[in-house]
Amino acid sequence: MSFDADAKMQFLFALRSKGVTDNKVLSVMERVDRGDFIQGYFTDRAYEDMPLPIACGQTISQPSVVALMTQALQIGPRDKVLEVGTGSGYQAAVLALMARRVYTVDRHRRLVRAATKVFEKMELNNITAFTADGSFGLPDQAPFDRIIVTAAAEDPPGPLLAQLKIGGIMVVPVGQSDTVQHLIRVTRHEDGFDYDELRPVRFVPLVEGLGKD
Protein backbone atom coordinates (compact mmCIF):
# COMPACT_ATOMS: atom_id res chain seq x y z
CA MET A 1 0.00 0.00 0.00
CA SER A 2 1.29 3.48 -0.84
CA PHE A 3 0.46 6.86 0.68
CA ASP A 4 -1.78 7.78 -2.27
CA ALA A 5 -4.57 10.37 -2.39
CA ASP A 6 -7.25 8.04 -1.00
CA ALA A 7 -5.00 6.81 1.80
CA LYS A 8 -4.08 10.41 2.72
CA MET A 9 -7.73 11.46 2.82
CA GLN A 10 -8.66 8.60 5.16
CA PHE A 11 -5.52 9.20 7.22
CA LEU A 12 -6.29 12.91 7.73
CA PHE A 13 -9.95 12.18 8.49
CA ALA A 14 -8.84 9.79 11.26
CA LEU A 15 -6.57 12.49 12.74
CA ARG A 16 -9.31 15.12 12.72
CA SER A 17 -11.78 12.71 14.29
CA LYS A 18 -9.35 12.21 17.21
CA GLY A 19 -9.07 15.94 17.90
CA VAL A 20 -6.18 17.12 15.74
CA THR A 21 -7.23 20.65 14.71
CA ASP A 22 -3.92 22.46 14.07
CA ASN A 23 -3.64 22.93 10.30
CA LYS A 24 0.18 23.10 10.43
CA VAL A 25 0.30 19.75 12.22
CA LEU A 26 -2.17 18.20 9.76
CA SER A 27 -0.11 19.48 6.83
CA VAL A 28 3.11 17.99 8.22
CA MET A 29 1.42 14.68 9.01
CA GLU A 30 0.30 14.55 5.39
CA ARG A 31 3.84 15.18 4.15
CA VAL A 32 5.59 12.53 6.27
CA ASP A 33 4.96 9.04 4.88
CA ARG A 34 4.63 6.68 7.87
CA GLY A 35 5.29 3.79 5.50
CA ASP A 36 8.95 4.87 5.26
CA PHE A 37 9.40 4.00 8.96
CA ILE A 38 7.86 0.50 8.94
CA GLN A 39 9.45 -2.63 7.50
CA GLY A 40 8.33 -6.22 7.12
CA TYR A 41 5.03 -7.81 8.00
CA PHE A 42 3.22 -4.60 9.06
CA THR A 43 3.99 -2.39 6.04
CA ASP A 44 0.45 -2.78 4.67
CA ARG A 45 -0.95 -1.33 7.92
CA ALA A 46 1.24 1.80 7.92
CA TYR A 47 -1.67 4.18 7.33
CA GLU A 48 -4.03 2.77 9.93
CA ASP A 49 -4.41 4.73 13.16
CA MET A 50 -2.84 2.11 15.39
CA PRO A 51 0.52 1.48 17.08
CA LEU A 52 2.70 -1.14 15.40
CA PRO A 53 5.68 -3.17 16.65
CA ILE A 54 9.20 -2.28 15.53
CA ALA A 55 12.63 -3.70 16.43
CA CYS A 56 14.02 -3.95 19.98
CA GLY A 57 10.59 -4.60 21.50
CA GLN A 58 9.46 -1.02 20.83
CA THR A 59 6.49 0.42 18.94
CA ILE A 60 5.76 3.15 16.42
CA SER A 61 2.97 5.25 17.94
CA GLN A 62 -0.39 5.57 16.26
CA PRO A 63 -0.50 8.64 14.01
CA SER A 64 -3.23 10.39 16.00
CA VAL A 65 -1.09 10.25 19.15
CA VAL A 66 1.96 11.57 17.25
CA ALA A 67 -0.17 14.41 15.91
CA LEU A 68 -1.81 15.22 19.27
CA MET A 69 1.56 15.29 21.06
CA THR A 70 2.96 17.52 18.33
CA GLN A 71 -0.06 19.81 18.57
CA ALA A 72 0.32 20.04 22.36
CA LEU A 73 3.95 21.16 21.98
CA GLN A 74 2.92 24.33 20.09
CA ILE A 75 6.18 24.30 18.12
CA GLY A 76 7.48 27.48 16.50
CA PRO A 77 9.85 27.63 13.50
CA ARG A 78 12.77 28.86 15.66
CA ASP A 79 12.40 26.20 18.36
CA LYS A 80 15.05 23.71 19.40
CA VAL A 81 13.38 20.41 20.34
CA LEU A 82 14.58 17.38 22.31
CA GLU A 83 12.87 14.05 21.68
CA VAL A 84 13.46 11.23 24.16
CA GLY A 85 12.76 7.91 22.46
CA THR A 86 13.67 7.99 18.76
CA GLY A 87 12.10 4.61 18.03
CA SER A 88 11.32 4.39 14.31
CA GLY A 89 12.12 8.08 13.77
CA TYR A 90 8.55 8.94 12.68
CA GLN A 91 7.88 11.48 15.43
CA ALA A 92 11.28 13.14 14.92
CA ALA A 93 10.59 13.54 11.19
CA VAL A 94 7.29 15.27 11.98
CA LEU A 95 9.02 17.57 14.46
CA ALA A 96 11.80 18.38 11.98
CA LEU A 97 9.34 19.91 9.52
CA MET A 98 8.08 22.33 12.20
CA ALA A 99 11.16 23.23 14.29
CA ARG A 100 14.56 24.76 13.64
CA ARG A 101 16.49 21.87 15.19
CA VAL A 102 15.61 18.44 16.57
CA TYR A 103 17.83 16.37 18.86
CA THR A 104 16.56 12.83 19.32
CA VAL A 105 17.87 10.21 21.74
CA ASP A 106 17.28 6.46 22.04
CA ARG A 107 18.86 3.78 24.22
CA HIS A 108 18.88 1.29 21.31
CA ARG A 109 21.75 1.82 18.86
CA ARG A 110 20.02 -0.33 16.25
CA LEU A 111 16.98 1.97 16.20
CA VAL A 112 19.11 5.11 15.98
CA ARG A 113 21.03 3.70 13.01
CA ALA A 114 17.85 2.72 11.15
CA ALA A 115 16.13 6.06 11.85
CA THR A 116 19.20 8.01 10.74
CA LYS A 117 19.11 6.25 7.37
CA VAL A 118 15.50 7.33 6.86
CA PHE A 119 16.31 10.92 7.90
CA GLU A 120 19.13 10.98 5.34
CA LYS A 121 16.85 9.57 2.64
CA MET A 122 14.27 12.27 3.43
CA GLU A 123 17.04 14.94 3.51
CA LEU A 124 16.04 16.02 7.02
CA ASN A 125 19.32 17.72 7.81
CA ASN A 126 18.09 19.44 10.98
CA ILE A 127 17.86 16.19 13.01
CA THR A 128 20.73 14.93 15.16
CA ALA A 129 20.24 11.43 16.59
CA PHE A 130 22.17 10.01 19.55
CA THR A 131 22.41 6.64 21.28
CA ALA A 132 22.18 7.59 24.96
CA ASP A 133 20.12 7.23 28.12
CA GLY A 134 17.35 9.68 27.35
CA SER A 135 16.13 9.92 30.94
CA PHE A 136 19.07 12.26 31.53
CA GLY A 137 18.35 14.36 28.44
CA LEU A 138 21.19 16.08 26.60
CA PRO A 139 22.82 18.52 29.05
CA ASP A 140 25.43 19.62 26.49
CA GLN A 141 22.70 20.88 24.12
CA ALA A 142 20.34 22.32 26.77
CA PRO A 143 18.25 24.36 27.26
CA PHE A 144 15.45 23.33 24.90
CA ASP A 145 12.36 25.23 23.81
CA ARG A 146 10.36 22.01 23.62
CA ILE A 147 10.85 18.47 24.96
CA ILE A 148 8.80 15.43 23.97
CA VAL A 149 9.07 12.04 25.68
CA THR A 150 7.72 9.02 23.81
CA ALA A 151 7.94 6.55 26.70
CA ALA A 152 6.06 6.61 30.00
CA ALA A 153 7.73 7.79 33.21
CA GLU A 154 6.34 7.58 36.75
CA ASP A 155 6.81 11.35 36.97
CA PRO A 156 8.19 13.97 34.56
CA PRO A 157 11.96 13.31 34.82
CA GLY A 158 13.82 15.94 36.85
CA PRO A 159 16.81 16.21 34.46
CA LEU A 160 14.44 16.93 31.57
CA LEU A 161 12.53 19.57 33.54
CA ALA A 162 15.87 21.24 34.31
CA GLN A 163 16.76 21.34 30.60
CA LEU A 164 13.54 23.13 29.61
CA LYS A 165 13.76 26.85 28.90
CA ILE A 166 11.66 29.35 30.81
CA GLY A 167 8.46 29.48 28.78
CA GLY A 168 9.23 26.06 27.32
CA ILE A 169 6.83 23.13 27.01
CA MET A 170 7.36 19.42 27.63
CA VAL A 171 4.86 16.71 26.66
CA VAL A 172 5.33 13.38 28.45
CA PRO A 173 3.23 10.29 29.21
CA VAL A 174 3.08 9.68 32.95
CA GLY A 175 1.88 6.59 34.79
CA GLN A 176 3.04 3.89 37.18
CA SER A 177 1.82 1.00 35.01
CA ASP A 178 1.29 0.27 31.33
CA THR A 179 -2.48 0.27 31.85
CA VAL A 180 -2.97 3.67 33.51
CA GLN A 181 -1.07 6.48 31.81
CA HIS A 182 -1.91 10.08 31.02
CA LEU A 183 -0.35 12.51 28.60
CA ILE A 184 0.86 15.55 30.52
CA ARG A 185 1.88 18.97 29.20
CA VAL A 186 4.40 20.77 31.43
CA THR A 187 4.99 24.50 30.98
CA ARG A 188 7.98 26.08 32.71
CA HIS A 189 7.63 29.53 34.27
CA GLU A 190 10.03 31.74 36.19
CA ASP A 191 8.58 30.50 39.47
CA GLY A 192 7.87 26.83 38.68
CA PHE A 193 5.91 24.49 36.44
CA ASP A 194 2.29 24.16 35.34
CA TYR A 195 0.93 20.67 34.62
CA ASP A 196 -2.01 20.00 32.30
CA GLU A 197 -3.48 16.52 31.89
CA LEU A 198 -4.39 15.99 28.23
CA ARG A 199 -5.68 12.44 27.66
CA PRO A 200 -5.19 8.74 28.50
CA VAL A 201 -2.43 6.98 26.50
CA ARG A 202 -0.45 3.73 26.35
CA PHE A 203 3.33 3.86 25.91
CA VAL A 204 6.25 1.56 26.57
CA PRO A 205 8.04 2.47 29.83
CA LEU A 206 10.95 4.89 30.01
CA VAL A 207 13.92 2.69 30.93
CA GLU A 208 17.28 3.90 32.21
CA GLY A 209 20.56 2.66 30.72
CA LEU A 210 21.47 1.58 27.18
CA GLY A 211 19.76 -1.27 25.36
CA LYS A 212 21.62 -4.54 24.75
CA ASP A 213 21.60 -4.65 20.95
pLDDT in tens, 119-143: 999 999 999 999 998 889 999 999 9
What are the Cα distances from residue 173, in Å, to 85, 120, 170, 196? 12, 29, 10, 11
| pLDDT tens digits, one per residue of 33-51 | 999 999 877 888 888 899 9
Catalytic residue ranges:
61
Given CA atoms 74, 77, 79, 83 in this order, what sign does their dihedral have? positive
pTM higher than 0.85 for the full model? yes
The mean predicted confidence, pLDDT, of the chain is 91
- Whole-angstrom Cα Rg for the chain: 16
Is residue 60 classed as helix, strand or coil in its secondary structure?
strand
